[in-house]
Structure 1
Amino acid sequence: MSWYLKSYKFLGLGEVKHVEKLTMSVDEVASELGVSKTTIYTMAREKEIPHTKVRGRILFHRPTIEHWLITNTEGGEPK
């Protein structure tokens, strides 16, 4: 059980049935966007996509990526 779930349970907030991960890996972002991992690494290196590094590993905050996608939409209003 993750520290988050332990903390949640400790606070008396009950059982958690499903918690969506807050971060995404390069593989996950590449898959979601339909591009290669190389493209994601390049975008991160050139600071074209919001990310953070933890011990050298590139991670993406899911809500930030979702917001980034919406605010970087071209050609009309996002659905």
Structure 2
Amino acid sequence: MLPANSLPAPVACDRVEAAQLLGLSLATLDRLVKANKLPHRKIGRRVLFHKATLERWLQGEPA
């Protein structure tokens, strides 16, 4: 059980963190998103990525 003052680790990340996680430049990440080749969610103007899904994508598993 988590202590009352700690928060669980976030499961989603923004494009900067996703690029770092995948070892890609922001431009490459943006191209993959635009081509719909990278699993993502758009919430308003923000593009978010589920960390576990990115890790599976990186390993070549279906997202």
* Structure 1 residue ranges (4+ consecutive) displaced by more than 4 angstroms after TM superposition: none
Unaligned runs of 5+ residues in structure 1 are 1-12, 74-79
Unaligned runs of 5+ residues in structure 2 are none
**What is the aligned-residue identity percentage?**
30
One-letter identity of the residue aligned with 1:31: Q
* CA RMSD, 1 decimal: 2.0
Q: Which structure is richer in relative contact order (CA contacts within 8 A, separation 6 or more)?
A: 2
TM-score (norm 1): 0.64
Q: Which structure is larger by alpha-carbon Rg, 1 or 2? A: 1
In structure 2, C-alpha distance between the alignment counterparts of 1:24 and 1:61, rounded to whole Å: 6
1:39 aligns with 2:28: yes
Q: How many residues end up aligned between the 2 structures?
A: 60
Q: Which has the higher helix share?
A: 1
